[in-house]
Amino acid sequence: MKGNQSQDSRLGIIALIKRLHFYIGLFVGPFIFVAALTGTLYVVSPQIEQQLYQHALTTTSHGEAHSLQQQIEVARQSLERPLKLTAVRPATGEGFTTRVLFADPDYSLQRLTVFVDPVTLAVQDTLPTYGTSGILPFMTTLDFLHRGLLLGEIGRIYSELAASWMWLAALGGLLLWYRAKRPAKSNSRNSYLKAKQRHQKAGLIIVVGLVFFSATGLTWSKWAGSNIAEWRKSIGWVTPSLNRSLPVEADSALSTQPQLIDQLFDPVLALARSAGIEASKIELTPSYDASRAWVVSEIDRSWPTQVDSVSVDPQSMTITSRANFSDYPLIAKLIRWGIDAHMGVLFGVPNQIVLAAFGLTLCFMIVMGYIMWWKRRPAVNSEKETISYIWSHLAPLSKLLTVLVAIGLGLALPVLGCSLLLFLLVDVLRWKMMAQRRLVTS
């Protein structure tokens, strides 16, 4: 008897997961499709952007580079109005330009960047750039499209919705495939079975990627990302940070005069190089607060990862703090690599190819799922095809466990929790309508 009850309980849970998998595909599938498609467009675009902005990024000049101070002064003079200098990214080698970055009130999330030829001191172009990777307007548009459909903060709900449910859809689909009594067999006269087989094969190929991209995407989402950051902090899974504090008796005049700030870039760079900052891609961040140190950071996130950084006291020209990637805890390294892999920068072109293949496969899988639904949509709906009905027939312990899991996931992933409530509201209404129709027709 107990064995039968246990089996019935397991079957009930499986039925519940199957129905939830269907709802995720039906209602969240379009958002996951858009996220996959826009993400694919983003990861295949770096080479396009390089060509579009070749004049800003490269130069044909040969010879000795001028000092950073001279390059910064030229950049300042090219501006239409005075702006606050926020960072400098020296040219990575001969044939490339130096980036001088300014805070511009016209760009809330981007920085106005002046591209200077380090040899001729010619200003090649002035463009807004975004993020640590310093992407230009073309890829910035694709990034914002992927992140929030160009709708600003409110648009981020869509991408967080997709990331919140994708891993559950993947694991649920894997469980349903494993529990199936027999695999779906292709039949030239059964388009539903063909679509199901293709949906399953595509899912099995990318199931690990679905969980990976869901997890890494959630790390920088708005609501779930905040919860994840707090959780990582509580268990010590945080990236080591620099200590930028300096003695308060430092000369405050140094931090208020742009001319004095500009003069410090070359000696600060030389000091950082002597301290082991070796990557070609680096960023120097000045401080306008006498109690805060300057920062020189490596920003090369390809392989091998170069993200060491040092704090510099501009008064004494000494290194006051450093954070080396080699000293990161293993988890912090894995998180760094995971995010960079998600963005397509960890291994360069091979990373891009893998991500593009993943994104297109995911889009194909979703399309096959919709074909399955269209081919099998019932002419008459039954109340038994609802989460409410299935849940109402679970054993008491199973009911309690499903409620606790739902509450836990809802608190950890708020967008998932809110959308689950909407699912359940629609489901309950549908359950009641079907039950009432059955009573009327009986």
CATH number of the domain encompassing residue 128: 3.30.505
What does the pLDDT average to over 372-377? 89
Domain boundary among 67, 101, 135: 135
Cβ atoms of 246 and 294 within 8 Å: the answer is no
Q: Are residues 354 and 437 in the same domain?
A: yes
Q: Are residues 392 and 430 in the same domain?
A: yes
Q: Are residues 121 and 156 in the same domain?
A: no
Q: pLDDT value at position 183?
A: 55
Q: Are residues 359 and 433 in the same domain?
A: yes
User: Does some domain include residue 66?
Assistant: yes
What does the pLDDT average to over 416-439? 89
User: Does some domain include residue 390?
Assistant: yes
User: Does some domain include residue 223?
Assistant: yes
What does the pLDDT average to over 107-113? 94
Name the domain count of the chain.
Answer: 3
Mean pLDDT score across all residues of the chain: 91
Q: Judging by DSSP bridges, how do beta strands 282-285 and 318-323 pair with one another?
A: unpaired
Q: Are residues 224 and 357 in the same domain?
A: yes
pLDDT-based confidence at residue 249 (cuts at 50, 70, 90):
low
User: Does some domain include residue 102?
Assistant: yes
Nearest to 405 by CA among 171, 191, 76: 171
Q: pLDDT value at position 258?
A: 76
Nearest to 238 by CA among 163, 331, 172: 331
Segment holding 214, helix H or strand E: helix 191-219
Q: Are residues 222 and 256 in the same domain?
A: no
Nearest to 32 by CA among 166, 153, 147: 166
* Token pair in block for residue 329: 């805890």
Domain boundary among 73, 101, 135: 135
What does the pLDDT average to over 14-25? 95
> What pTM, to 2 d.p., does this model score?
0.91
- Cα–Cα distance measured from residue 358 to residue 55, given in angstroms and rounded to the nearest whole number: 33
Q: Are residues 191 and 63 in the same domain?
A: no
Domain boundary among 112, 135, 158: 135
Q: pLDDT value at position 1?
A: 47
Q: How far apart, in Å, are the Cα atoms of 426 and each of 14, 17, 27, 433?
A: 21, 17, 11, 11
Q: Are residues 368 and 428 in the same domain?
A: yes
Range of the domain at 252: 246-320
Q: pLDDT value at position 362?
A: 98
pLDDT-based confidence at residue 432 (cuts at 50, 70, 90):
confident
Q: Are residues 366 and 230 in the same domain?
A: yes
- Cα–Cα distance measured from residue 107 to residue 148, given in angstroms and rounded to the nearest whole number: 17
User: Does some domain include residue 341?
Assistant: no
Q: Are residues 230 and 251 in the same domain?
A: no
Cβ atoms of 21 and 29 within 8 Å: the answer is no
